[in-house]
Amino acid sequence: MPGDPPFFGGFKINEAICPFNETIIGSYDHDAFPPCTINGSSKPWTLLDAPSAYRVLATGLLNQTGEYNNEDFNTLNVAWDAGAFIYTQLVTHIDDVTDEQHVLYFNPWSAEEYSDSPKVSKLDLTNQDVERVGIDYVAETISVVTECTAITTDCGIYNTTSDASSIPYHCSNGFYGDLNEIPANGLERLKGWNTTFFDFHNDPSLNVSIASQLNPFSYNVTAVVDSIDLNDLILYGDPQVPQGIVVEIGDGRVGFAMSCNSTVYDVTYSLVNGSILVFNTTLTAPSIAAMIKAPLQAGFGSYELFEKAAMSVLLSHSTILDAMELAFSQTFLALVAGVYDPAPFIEKRWRYDMTVTKIRKAPFYFLVVCMFMYAIVVLVFTLIALSLFRRSNVRALHAQLMS
């Protein structure tokens, strides 16, 4: 953190405000009290430490998969001074073994390298003399992996009127409606966006309760967003149109539907020279996954997700599914940021990159001149030796000695 070396790189649940619940709750027990990440006693429900959650959503997302020591720390320091950023950042890591995209809590200042530039003398050979100090460490944190598939065709999203005033969909017996109407579920409700959570391994047609303890957990998403004309997407060669992932709704809007699975992991990782070197994961307890699932299932974060859904259609470097997988993983963790506190390093070591010797200009150039003169002397003696060898009397004497 600004002005102080970081003493933590991990994150853990603050059990004082969100104690671990060992009670097993049925997936369809809709009368069960929501997890501690939601204040279920208020009407309507509120998010635990909402300022921390939405602060992370606003300033704590870093779509970077390595070299975290190259982050713009000046911008972070300005955000820190303004109170817009504390210490919780969400970064992305691609697991080399599984190729899964993990989003995890991260302290950016744990990767910062501190520079010291001693006063340079005009007699020094170089004018760059920077000593860098950083921390390599092992820490524990938590991550979310989200994978989505397109179900736009299965949900039958289409418009039934010329002005797109009716946009029905039917993904399952438990998830259907009209995207031009405000959905009945969710605390942040808006037209053009709806989600439902279900148990993939049980009955996908039934909605699970907000207290359900599943890891991984599954959910369906439908969206209708403002976008460029579908013909323009076809002109740009977007493969999502002929594949039926994106469909035209009319009135400058497009629609799509996804079925997603998110998995929560406990992570132990090592950071060396600013990048993750070792990354070990284990499935977290379903009761912990329920804490992370609950806020988004209740409807929190819907406005941010809807905005990212609209942007995902316009991205040329990734598909809608890619963009929304990242957005959901980030939003799940951001909404519970107020529950997680910093955790100390498991191991750490200081890393130094510094100048161990220095050559002044005068001795260096004197050495260069001496080596040049030495080369000239050697060349002169070589030429003299060759000229003497070619003389006839020398060759005759050489022949007598060889006979």
Q: How many CB atoms lie within 10 A of CB 133?
A: 15
In this structure, what DSSP letter does residue 133 have?
Answer: E
Strongest mean pLDDT among 43-57, 258-272, 355-369: 258-272
Tell me what the mean pLDDT of segment 265-286 comes to. 95
Tell me what the mean pLDDT of segment 14-33 comes to. 82
CA-angle at 44, arms to 42 and 49, nearest 5°: 65
**How far is 35 from 44, CA to CA, in rounded Å?**
15
- For residue 33, the model assigns a pLDDT of 87
Q: What is the mean pLDDT of the chain?
A: 85
Tell me what the mean pLDDT of segment 99-106 comes to. 96
Mark out the alpha helices in 135-183 (DSSP H runs). 152-155
In this structure, what DSSP letter does residue 344 have?
Answer: E
Question: DSSP E strands: which ranges in 108-192?
Answer: 114-116, 131-150, 168-172, 175-178
pLDDT at residue 128 greater than cutoff 60: no
CA 311 to chain centre: 18
pLDDT band at 359 (very low <50, low <70, confident <90, very high): low
Query: What single letter denotes the amino acid at residue 266?
Result: D
- The residue with tokens 């995902």 is 312
List pLDDT tens digits, range 130-186. 577 889 999 999 999 999 999 999 998 877 776 667 888 998 888 888 888 887 777
Phi, psi of 40, deg, nearest 5? -80, -10
Q: Give the CA count within 13 Å in the CB-facing half-sphere of 147.
A: 7
Would the pTM of this model clear 0.85, i.e. be above it?
Answer: no
Query: What single letter denotes the amino acid at residue 21?
Result: N
Name the region of 83 (left: φ>0; alpha: ψ -120 to 50; beta: rest): left
pLDDT at residue 388 greater than cutoff 70: no
pLDDT at residue 357 greater than cutoff 80: no
List pLDDT tens digits, range 223-272. 998 877 667 677 677 778 778 888 888 777 889 999 999 999 999 999 99
pLDDT at residue 339 greater than cutoff 90: yes
